[in-house]
Amino acid sequence: MLAKAGIATPRSFDALAAAVRALTTRSTKGLFVGNDGIGDLPALAVFSHGGALVTDGRADFDSPQAVEAMSALKRLREDQSLLLGFTTDGWDPSAFTQGVVPMRWCGLWAMPALRTALGDDFGVLPWPAFRPGGGPVVRVGGWTSCVDARSRNVAAAKTFVRWLRVERTELQKDWSESYGFHVPPRLSVAARSEGLRGGTAQEAVDLAATCGRYGPALWNSTVNTLFAAAAVKVVGGGDAAQILADAARQAQAEIDRQRA
């Protein structure tokens, strides 16, 4: 679909927006990021312009870079080039495998389903740099085990977490290959995960290693809700600088509470 439209791999947000617009027809939209048309785009926009969500304990998603990059997301909505309200949400690859959209944002977990449906007739790319000076972004998530410091069994709990998450490498390998693909947290396990070797899966793993960005440690559900709500207002046409400044101020109170 991209080749037929004469579109090369987008290397900037402007190029991506142009490609998404060009790929939008009467029967298809150019890009699917989730049924709300927002998905993870706000964080991707901030990171790709060299910005950050939290810096040294300070809510930083109201920086000039963040304001500019978030404001640019309005274009995707104004161009009416985003698929909205599909039968399944962004975690599922069906909109892509069924040919409803030629490009979509999704996680590595969907790779086996893509291979089954499309063979090798698809590619992977990071979210492009907003412009020169920024950088391409791959969002890297994960699961975390925590030990309550007030527990009477801290030592036993830490031993259990280490056994489960560090020593039981066969469990990591099974999880990374048997339930969709995931990037193992240990390099030695990743090296012997056959499903992640070669092709688009290997490309995705390599991209996660070279331009992966993680969520800040202080980024809890309260802070994320404030950020997400601000993004909806910005994309809807609100004043990005004012909206993000207000949200960052509220998020700072929550961050300070956590630090205390």
Burial of 39 (0-12, 13-18, 19+ CB in 10 A): buried
> Are the CB atoms for 158 and 59 separated by under 8 Å?
no
Q: CA of 82: how far to CAs of 36, 75, 77, 124, 184, in Å?
A: 9, 10, 7, 19, 32
* DSSP state at residue 165: I
| Model pLDDT, residue 145 | 83
Distance in angstroms (rounded) separating the CA atoms of residues 25 and 81: 9
- Nearest-CA neighbor of 122 among 1, 12, 41? 1
What is the pLDDT at residue 233? 96
Token couple for 43: 């964080």
Q: Are 12 and 128 in contact (CB under 8 A)?
A: yes
Domain ranges of the chain: 13-140+215-259
Mean pLDDT, consecutive 10-residue stretches, the chain (260 aa), reads: 88 95 91 94 95 95 95 93 94 93 92 93 94 90 84 96 91 90 86 87 91 90 96 94 97 94
CATH class of 13-140+215-259: alpha beta
The number of CA neighbours under 13 Å toward the Cβ of 112 is: 11
Cα 209 to Cα 203: distance, rounded to the nearest angstrom: 10
